[in-house]
Chain A
Amino acid sequence: MESIGVLMMCPMSSYLENELQKRFNLVRFWNSPEKSVLLETHRDSIRAVVGNASAGADAQLIDELPKLEIVSSFSVGLDKIDLGKCKEKGIRVTNTPDVLTEDVADLAIGLILALLRRLCECDRYVRSGKWKTGDFQLTTKFSGKTVGIIGLGRIGTAVAKRAEAFSCPINYYSRREKSDVGYKYYPTVVELAKKSDILVVACPLTDETRHIVNRGVIDALGGKGVLINIGRGPHVDEQELVKALREGRLGGAALDVFEQEPHVPEELFALENVVLLPHVGSGTVETRNAMADLVVANLEAHFSGKSLLTPVV
């Protein structure tokens, strides 16, 4: 399969790069400053694209790769892929569900605890020597707080199971109420926010869910409520979020994702009631390797005429 061209959109895993290089002709999109020249050179050999949460396959790229057969995403999110165009052209699409579910849910709980119990601020307090001058302030208890989850898919469910062990009542919003679930359903995100202390974003990013956390939702969550975003930056109206935090209208926010990664609104850096992470939801050695193995396995299956492991289209 060494003649099969696989276009990798950006650096995402050196382990994945090595595995792809062993099996295919790997073309690194970021290596050339002249992208159009790169695509022109390889347009007849590229049969696969490997993308991630930062860069996938939009309509323009798909049009420039006439031999494209499959897009294999190193992520579970598909918002960077023009799924409609892929369907139209018969291009297969795969992602990496399940293998990263636990990591993302673990991080959600970690973010809640870090935010409510001020763990990052505490760590700064000790390292700066301030502890010698006095004890830390009161923090906020997590156990028993009501958790509202937007999207009760694999990740949302895993978050709920973990939060239940902290005696947290669980609420959720999703497109349709789920029948066999013991959590309280709310038909709108605003109502969910009103009735929850902690709001967790865990749904896919689509045209419908863009800015699903808007000013109305932020106001409903309120000065004692906190927002946890482990979905995608565009789920949240970031400008409104920054305003609300600066004006004290929202109790706090823990964010793993942002609208224009890696750019983070600098006004957030001065705030103590936020936790800011560089999109590390699936960022463990174990999980990134498992994701890479799944990407490679899907590509190998496709090019040997076997069934895809985790097809989306």
Chain B
Amino acid sequence: MAESSESPLVLIHRPPSLDFMDERLSRNFRILDIHTSSDPLPIFLSRHAASARAFVNIGRLPVTAEILSYLPSLQVIICTSVGVDHIDLAECKRRGVAVTNAGDASSEDAADCAVGLLISVLRRIPAADRYVRSGNWAKFGVFQLGSKVSGKRVGIVGLGSIGSFIAKRLEPFGCIISYNSRSQKQSIPYMYYSDILSLAANNDVLVLCCSLTAETRHIVNREVMESLGKDGVIINVGRGGLIDEKEMVKCLVQGVIGGAGLDVFEKEPEVPQELFGLDNVVLSPHSAMITPGSFNNVAEVAFGNLKAFFSNQPLISPVHLD
């Protein structure tokens, strides 16, 4: 794979549990693993990473301007996530550092998870499972009725690949799909709302799957939740920062909205304790893409980007730095 006799040096960040790329990485590159050193990061990088042109960020290590300053030769950051809100994109742009993400590699799984959370909230699946396991069905009988999924109006915030896959999955349920995104997309059969407030007012379920940027931070605020209403449900498979989490907790506890299915939170793995007592909430530990299929796909995309970079070919899944 390498052009010269020595494999290229690649800096990697890899939490111990995410070892799915280890073997292939060490076979093709000289690896500089941030985790192998107990030195403070700035010292480690200054000492060893000065010549590293590529950085593979497995997981979501925040890459700040300061970290970038210790990587003078860096030309590409390869992320295994779809979201890149943990990267200082402005600084990357200034420095001419390209950034790639996972592209579509985990979109199916993320969409499956979103639909799973949606059905689970409306039909109260985890609460019902708890009811049976606790012996309460035998003791007390009838469980509280849920809400019908088929035919619900679903508003999708962000109609990228994940959003489109979610829409496609909900169509045979007879769900009425509409969306909000930065701009209206051509030849899409779904109704477009130019702002999230109208989207919320006209839907029963709001699904968040857009990227987290300065513009979308807290895009779901109290006003949006009041607009969604007491029977409304929020599903978040984007980023915790898309929702004003403190307000959302209040809205759930006060019954301002009807329920929520959340895979992401503002300060993972911290989750507001008030949610633990609620039966109309389904909580997931940022696991929308943790299937073997997604991991394989993500690895393929990452290696594809690495190979392209080192052979001076166009990157496969570059992120727009605007």
Question: Which A residues have a C-beta under 8 Å from some C-beta of B?
Answer: 11, 102-103, 105-107, 109-111, 113-114, 117-120, 122-127, 131-132, 134-144, 161-162, 164-167, 262-264, 269, 275-278, 280, 283-288
Contact = CB atoms under 8 A, between A and B. Distances in A.
A213 B229 CA distance: 44
Contacts of A117: 112-113, 116, 287, 291
A275 B168 contact: no
Contacts, number: 173
For A123, A131, A134, A277, the residue with the greatest tally of chain B CB atoms inside 10 Å of its CB is A123
In terms of DSSP, what is the predominant structure of the interface of chain B? helix
Given A106-B123, A120-B126, A122-B283, A284 B133 contact: no
A102 B151 contact: yes
B276 A127 contact: yes
A251 B117 CA distance: 22
Contact of A102 (B108, B170, B174, B270): B174
B245 interface: no
Contact of A283 (B116, B143, B151): B143
B250 to A, nearest CB: 19
A124 B148 CA distance: 24
Interface residues of B, number: 58
B108 A143 contact: yes
A278 B270 CA distance: 31
Contact of A139 (B128, B172, B286, B290): B290
A119 B116 contact: yes
Interface string B126-149: 101111110001100111011111
B258 to A, nearest CB: 12
Contacts of A114: 116, 119-120, 125-126, 129
Contacts of B124: 280
B291 A275 contact: no
Contact of A106 (B109, B148, B268): B148
A169 to B, nearest CB: 15
B310 interface: no
A256 B141 CA distance: 14
Contacts of B150: 102-103, 105-106
Contact of A119 (B109, B117, B138, B276): B117
B290 A136 contact: yes
B62 interface: no
A135 B17 contact: yes
12 contacts: A117-B113, A122-B285, A126-B283, A131-B269, A135-B290, A136-B287, A165-B170, A166-B169, A262-B141, A275-B129, A278-B131, A284-B147
B173 A162 contact: yes
Interface stretch (B43-51, B96-104, B292-300): B292-300
A288 B147 CA distance: 10
Most buried by A among B171, B172, B283: B172
Interface string B265-285: 000111100001000001111
A119 B291 contact: no
Given A166-B169, A280-B143, A120 B148 contact: no
Contacts of A139: 287, 290-291
B181 to A, nearest CB: 21
Given A102-B173, A126-B283, A132-B269, A107 B112 contact: no
Given A141-B293, A165-B172, A275-B129, A284 B283 contact: no
Interface of B: 17, 108-109, 111-113, 115-117, 119-120, 122-126, 128-133, 137-138, 141-143, 145-151, 168-174, 268-271, 276, 282-287, 290-295
Given A111-B125, A136-B290, A139-B287, 9 more contacts: A110-B125, A113-B116, A113-B120, A123-B284, A138-B295, A276-B132, A278-B128, A283-B123, A284-B145
A143 B285 contact: no
A106 B173 contact: yes
> Which of B108, B131, B174, B285 has the largest number of chain A CB atoms within 10 A?
B285
Which of B113, B116, B126, B147 neighbours the largest number of chain A CB atoms within 10 Å of its CB? B116
A165 B40 CA distance: 49
A141 B292 contact: yes
A263 B293 CA distance: 37
Which of A120, A137, A263 is packed against the most chain B CB atoms within 10 Å? A120
A110 B145 contact: no
